[in-house]
């Protein structure tokens, strides 16, 4: 029997993530959405692509969480996405209701899963899912850092005309305007990026990374990014399924790491079978540390708005 990965929300991110996971051919997939027929239809369509692409993953979809029973990993992508002019934080009230309700259903049907949260505003929704689940912190992780870092790495790679594979970087902090790209730790095959790019150009790339989500929203007009987000979520799911213990930036509840407690923030985590195996503490410069703390304040502020 293959294990099951459940994806909640059959919209752009959820459906594309399901497609990517099916193409890995590792697990069976269960896709859930409130909209009648949507998850079922997309699951069927994806199943029918199997013979052409050569995967045997069984893919089921529906509105009933029974299909998620015993899932090994559950990814929450349900909720509203941004439209032009909206910030991620504008989504907080509507999505808090959805994520709370979905998490409670997940706990009933897949009590031993690792939960990966994708819904925005990411850090607050991850914190909410952790609280609503009552699970230990290592089993609830949020996806944002892999995406923000991928954006940063792709802009750097094109500026330097080098493969994306040769650009090593981490973007930490909350998933929003206060995110913290660690420029000091950004290297190209071991060479610090500050030696390769003039400071203005590096600053412009950092800013474009911060605005990366909004840039896509502005172009699409009717929704937000999903190809890169689903790729980032798939990498995290794969790390859990294969117990890779790869260190990736992701949203985790802090318990003293980086001098913070009781707040979910983007930090490097070692991701493996049990979820967060370890929060990795990297050395921050004084500026990065100050930016990181400001980012934590922004997350806390949003949580207090959410609490009402
Ligand atoms: O970096 C990141 N974390 C992100 C986050 C990157 C990209 C997108 N990010 C956020 O993910 C985005 O701001 C949204 O909050 C979610 C989902 O984005 P997506 O682009 O997939 O949105 P869609 O296409 O509108 O899909 C959302 C689906 C839609 O089919 C709804 O019917 C469904 O969610 N939905 C629900 N499903 C199940 N249960 C409930 N209650 C529910 N409510 C809505």
pLDDT digits (tens, 9 = 90+) for 99-151: 999 999 999 999 999 999 999 999 999 999 999 999 999 999 999 999 999 99
* Helix, strand, coil shares, percent, the chain, to 5: 50, 20, 30
Q: Which pLDDT value is given to residue 306?
A: 84
pLDDT tens column, 159-180: 999 999 999 999 999 998 889 9
The residue with greater pLDDT, 265 or 307, is 265
For a ligand 1 pocket test, name from 35, 78, 82, 88 the mutation site with the most ligand atoms within 8 angstroms of its C-beta. 78
Is residue 308's pLDDT more than 80? no
pLDDT higher than 90, residue 218: yes
Q: Tell me: pLDDT of 266 over 90.
A: yes
- The Cα 58–Cα 29 span in angstroms is 6
Alpha-carbon gap, residue 227 to 250, rounded angstroms? 18
Q: How much of the chain, in percent, has pLDDT values that exceed 90?
A: 92
Is the confidence at residue 261, as pLDDT, over 90? yes
pLDDT band for position 85 (cuts 50, 70, 90): confident
DSSP reduced 3-state for 33:
coil
**Around Cβ 13, how many Cβ atoms within 10 Å?**
28
Q: Check if 210 has its Cβ closer than 6 Å to any atom of ligand 1.
A: no
pLDDT at 182: 94
pLDDT bracket for residue 200 (50, 70, 90): very high
Adjacent-strand bridge partners of 84: none
Neighbours of 218 (CB within 10 A): 13
pLDDT at 277 over 90: yes
Q: Is 118 in the pocket of ligand 1 (CB under 6 A)?
A: yes
* CA 239 / ligand 1 centre spacing (Å): 22
Q: How confident is the model at residue 305 (pLDDT cuts 50, 70, 90)?
A: confident
For ligand 1, is residue 81 a contact (CB within 6 Å)?
yes
Ligand 1 within 6 A of CB of 100: no
The rounded Å distance from CA 76 to ligand 1 centre is 8
What CA–CA distance (Å, rounded) separates 16 from 279? Answer: 28
Give the pLDDT band (50/70/90) at residue 90: confident
Using CA atoms, how far residue 121 sits from 56, 80, 87, 93, in Å, is 34, 10, 9, 10
* Arithmetic mean of pLDDT over the chain: 96
To test the ligand 1 pocket, which listed residue (75, 83, 118, 235) has its Cβ within 8 A of the most ligand atoms? 118
pLDDT over 80 (residue 154): yes
Contact call for residues 46 and 19 (beta carbons, < 8 A): yes
| 138 part of the active site | no
pLDDT band at residue 201 under the 50/70/90 scheme: very high
Contact 187, 282 (CB under 8 A): no
Q: Sign of the CA dihedral 93, 38, 213, 76?
A: positive
Q: Which atom of ligand 1 is nearest to the CA of 147?
A: 1
Q: What is the pLDDT of residue 82?
A: 84
Average pLDDT on 183-204 reads: 96
18 within 8 A of 41, measured Cβ to Cβ? no
More confident: 6 or 90 = 6
């Amino acid at each position: 029997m293959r294990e099951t990965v459940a994806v909640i929300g059959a919209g752009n991110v959820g459906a594309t993530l399901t497609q990517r996971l099916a193409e890995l051919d590792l697990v069976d997939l269960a896709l859930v959405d409130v909209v009648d027929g949507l998850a079922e239809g997309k699951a069927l369509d994806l199943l029918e692509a199997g013979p052409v692409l050569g995967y045997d993953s069984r893919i089921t979809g529906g509105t009933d969480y029974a299909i998620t029973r015993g899932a090994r990993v559950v990814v929450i992508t349900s909720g509203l996405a941004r439209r032009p002019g909206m910030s991620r934080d504008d989504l907080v009230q509507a999505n808090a209701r959805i994520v709370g309700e979905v998490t409670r259903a997940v706990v009933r049907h897949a009590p031993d899963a690792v939960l990966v949260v994708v819904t925005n505003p990411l850090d607050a929704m991850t914190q909410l899912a952790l609280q609503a689940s009552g699970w230990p912190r290592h089993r609830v992780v949020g996806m944002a850092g892999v995406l923000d870092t991928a954006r940063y790495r792709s802009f750097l790679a094109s500026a330097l005309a080098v493969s994306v594979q040769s650009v090593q970087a981490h973007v930490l902090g909350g998933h929003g305007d206060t995110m913290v790209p660690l420029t000091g730790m950004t290297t190209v095959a071991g060479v610090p990026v500050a030696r390769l790019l003039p400071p203005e150009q590096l600053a412009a790339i950092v800013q474009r990374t911060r605005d990366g989500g909004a840039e896509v929203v502005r172009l699409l007009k009717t929704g937000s990014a999903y190809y890169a987000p689903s790729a980032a979520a798939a990498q995290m799911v794969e790390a859990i399924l294969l117990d890779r213990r790869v260190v990736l930036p992701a949203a985790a509840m802090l318990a003293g790491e980086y001098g913070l407690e009781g707040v979910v923030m983007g930090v490097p985590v070692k991701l493996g079978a049990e979820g967060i195996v370890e929060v990795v503490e990297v050395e921050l410069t004084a500026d990065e540390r100050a930016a990181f703390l400001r980012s934590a304040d922004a997350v806390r502020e949003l949580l207090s708005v959410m609490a009402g």
